[in-house]
DNA sequence: CTAGGACTTGGAGTGGACTCCAACGCAAAC
DNA sequence: GTTTGCGTTGGAGTCCACTCCAAGTCCTAG
């Protein structure tokens, strides 16, 4: 559930963040550990409290991960973001290269989907 | 290179089969071991000789694998093929279910590709 | 005939990305 | 204030699909 510090800055426990981001709690901790997520804010007793900003970033990570970007390259992207605005050109290059990879993957899937359809048609004709 | 038993039935060494199928030699041996490929014909001294029929089957496996079918399900499909023509309806069901999965994957990729494009546009606008 | 590359085996090892564990502390509901 | 369950840690374990290894045999070009 939502845990509010004040009216304008909602925060989320790791469980709630998992539910909202689509990552498991373990994956969220793992991503923080390897530097994919900046150190998350903590309560006085050490529990994580994710912000909407964290969730937005997690959305980007989810997109990159689900389109097949390796963790190492996501980490590189995270580093670029941390380094500041002067890395934006490189971020664009990285994303463009990834988009090309996604396009190729989709084209390959489309071709192979047709092959499967052909196989199905063949089986239907027997 | 091609190793012909006679004019009508070319066979291929594992190296040549690897080159033609796009699998590594190790993967071909592994697939045979776990039953994805029927026992391959051998020379008197035990070396494998793949046929055009084997290559065709490998093409199907490559298509299924590259579209994300788990090895276990490919093995199930291979079993159905071995069991004979009466399993054709089930093979059709399996392939149709897989095609649905591929379609979903493509739709997901397309949506996420758009997200990436949006991100690129945003970075370009900064 | 010989050199060098291709092939054989069973089994162990790898890489990527998590996923689980134990033993504990903290929180929210009643 | 106690129970129920969510959260913490470091490190070990898992899963999938290969991939590599060693020690040996086979094949073919010259």
> Can you list the domains of chain A with their CATH numbers?
2-125 (1.10.1660.10)
Chain B contact probe: residue of A74, A99, A107 with most B CBs at under 10 A: A99
Distance of CA A76 to the CA centre of its chain: 13
Q: What is the pLDDT of residue B9?
A: 83
- Region B98-106 average pLDDT: 98
Q: How far is B47 from chain A (nearest CA, A)?
A: 31
- From CA A78, how far away is CA A57, in angstroms rounded? 9
pLDDT tens profile A28-63: 999 999 999 999 999 999 999 999 999 999 999 999
Q: Record the tokens describing residue A5, joined without a space.
A: 């510090």
Q: What is the pLDDT of residue B4?
A: 42
pLDDT tens profile B57-81: 999 999 999 999 999 999 999 999 9
**Chain A residues with a Cβ under 8 Å from any Cβ in chain B:** 60, 63-64, 66-67, 85, 88, 91-92, 95-96, 98-99, 102-103, 105-106, 108-110, 112-113, 115-117, 119-120, 123-124, 126
Q: What is the 3-state secondary structure (H, E, C) of B52-119?
A: HHHHHHHHHHHHHHHCCCCHHHHHHHHHHHHHCHHHHHHHHHHHHHHHHHHHHHHHHHHHHHHHHHHH
Nearest to A24 by CA among A69, A53, A65, A52: A65
pLDDT tens profile A3-19: 444 456 899 999 999 99
Q: What is the pLDDT of residue A101?
A: 98
């Amino acid at each position: 559930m939502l845990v509010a510090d004040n009216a304008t800055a909602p925060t989320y426990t790791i469980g709630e963040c998992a539910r909202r981001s689509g990552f498991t709690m373990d994956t969220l901790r793992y991503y923080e550990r390897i530097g994919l997520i900046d150190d998350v804010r903590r309560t006085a007793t050490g529990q994580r409290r994710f912000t909407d900003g964290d969730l937005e970033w997690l959305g980007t990570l989810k997109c990159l991960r689900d389109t097949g970007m390796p963790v190492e390259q996501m980490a590189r992207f995270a580093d670029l973001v941390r380094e500041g605005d002067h890395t934006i050109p490189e971020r664009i290059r990285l994303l463009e290269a990834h988009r090309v990879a996604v396009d190729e993957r989709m084209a390959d899937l489309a071709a192979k989907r047709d092959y499967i359809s052909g196989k199905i048609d063949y089986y239907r004709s027997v």
